Chains A and B, each alone.
Chain A
Amino acid sequence: MTAKLFGEVRDWVPRERRFQVLVLANLCAVIARELRAGAWPSLADVSLFRSLAGTERPEPTVEDAEGAAREAAAELGAAIRRGELDDSLPEVLAGLRQHVRRKLEVARPGYADH
């Protein structure tokens, strides 16, 4: 789909609409990488966020991974905002690089390598 949008559709749409075709092509590529990655980035995030926040819970199932990652991210963010992790803030910042790197591998491969 991405190749078709980028290589064919872009050539015949009006000039002023080409940017939108590029945006769509890029989104399709991101979604394809998300589907390929499956649940593992969310599972890894849950583990990381809970470790940084110092909370312990049973590991989520693959089906629950996305919701659990969102919940753990919210809990970690709230703890950071309240200043509860100030003493370990350098470690938290360093640890979150893994999380952001995982997002970049899906959304913008290569960005973290420059």
Chain B
Amino acid sequence: MGSHGPRVTAEPPEPRAVREVLAEVGEDPGDVELAPIEGGASRQTFVVAAAGEPRFVLRREPHEGMSFAPLELELRAIAAADLAGVAVVRTVAAEPAGGRFGPGAGYLMEFVAGTSLAPRVLRREELSVARERLPGQLASALAQIHSVDSAAVDGLAGGERDPALEGCELWERELTEIGEPLPAVEAGLRWLRLNPPPPPPAIRLVHGDFRLGNFIVDGHGLAAVIDWELCHLGDPAEDIGWLTIRSWRFGNDDWPVAGLAEMEPFLDAYEAAGGVRPDAERLRWWEAMGNVKWAVICARQAHDHLTDARPSTELASLGRRICEPEWDLLELLAEA
């Protein structure tokens, strides 16, 4: 995953080209303006506004083949999740690599009102009702994602062997490629490799980045699950472990589920919605692996800044945050 290749700039696509694509699908909004939105592991995202009002969102690969999963695969996963009842943002139009959105592929989605910014979700007064509803809604959404007929999503990576072993190999490879020596992560990965959970009851579609920051939230709660670029086949417990790592609690450290709720009621709701309840050992393993993953992603982002592939103060700052998931990883393994 991560970026490989030429230097990336966040210059938006030509507004005229975007309008042209929209017009072709019968959605011509008139003159449009594009403004970048920060976030996403490797995709670039822009709000498309007409007459000052946000109307669509454009997501694209900065250049061809740059992302963890091809953009077409992300679209197939979103469509399959939509069919399974997951709240997603519907796609309006897509362009292939080298098309009108730039060197990489891109797509236009409907604009969904709300916020995905974690501090706002956790602290804004007007979202207090949403916060009460979110844990149950997230549990249901996750159970729906894990019920998706993954055979309908052609091209998903993973699922050929034990997902735990696949996870260890993926992040070892990534660490090797980045070249940043992180002995605490190596030691954690080694422990995880030597102490894997039993194979899961079933291999399912895994969102791969199911956490606060990737949910659009409005006054009623969950409006949409976004950012599907890390989706793959794996152990459903991976999504729960990732959701609960301390980094995604955004300061609400005593509430393991996204800084919002206790674990047991969340698991009750997940099971009630059709999910297979993982045991505590399996969850702890995937939470530890989630910390490995976040540490390596931080290292990748800092590497992209240092190698001038994606110059960004924010990416640079993530290099100084690697020690947070490293610490949480060591804490979890000390309890194991």
Task: List residues of chain A with CB under 8 Å of any chain B CB.
Answer: 19-20, 23-24, 26-27, 30, 49, 52, 70, 73-74, 76-77, 80-81, 83, 85-86, 89, 92-94, 96-97, 99-101, 103-104, 106-108, 111-112, 114
Contact = CB atoms under 8 A, between A and B. Distances in A.
Contacts of A106: 320
B183 A93 contact: no
A33 B172 CA distance: 31
**Considering the complex of A and B, which 7 residue pairs feature the smallest CB-CB distances, nearest first?**
A103-B323, A73-B181, A74-B181, A77-B186, A107-B320, A80-B186, A96-B184
A94 B316 CA distance: 28
Contacts of A85: 190
Contacts of A70: 181
Given A23-B313, A81-B172, A81-B190, 20 more contacts: A23-B317, A27-B313, A73-B182, A74-B181, A76-B181, A77-B182, A80-B183, A80-B190, A81-B186, A85-B190, A86-B194, A89-B187, A93-B187, A93-B334, A96-B187, A96-B330, A99-B183, A100-B326, A106-B320, A114-B253
A100 B186 contact: no
A54 to B, nearest CB: 14
Nearest to A114: B253
Contacts of A94: 334
A107 B324 CA distance: 9
Interface in B297-336: 313-314, 316-317, 320-324, 326-327, 330, 333-334
Contact of A107 (B183, B184, B253, B323): B323
Contacts of A104: 323-324, 327
Contact of B183 (A23, A27, A77, A86): A77
Nearest to A96: B184
Contacts, number: 87
Contact of B314 (A23, A74, A77, A93): A23
Contact of A80 (B187, B320, B334): B187
B187 to A, nearest CB: 5
A99 B187 CA distance: 13
Contact of A100 (B172, B184, B190, B191): B184
Contacts of A27: 313, 316-317, 320
A30 B326 CA distance: 18
Which of B38, B187, B327 has the most chain A CB atoms closer than 10 A to its own CB? B187
B176 to A, nearest CB: 9
Which of A24, A77, A89, A106 has the most chain B CB atoms closer than 10 A to its own CB? A77
Which of B188, B189, B320 has the most chain A CB atoms closer than 10 A to its own CB? B320
A93 B324 contact: no
A114 B249 CA distance: 13
Given A23-B313, A27-B320, A103 B183 contact: no
A99 B316 contact: no
Nearest to A104: B323
Which of B186, B317, B321 has the most chain A CB atoms closer than 10 A to its own CB? B186
Contact of A86 (B38, B189, B190, B333): B190
16 contacts: A20-B313, A27-B316, A27-B320, A73-B183, A76-B181, A76-B186, A77-B183, A80-B183, A80-B187, A93-B191, A93-B334, A96-B183, A97-B327, A104-B324, A107-B321, A108-B321
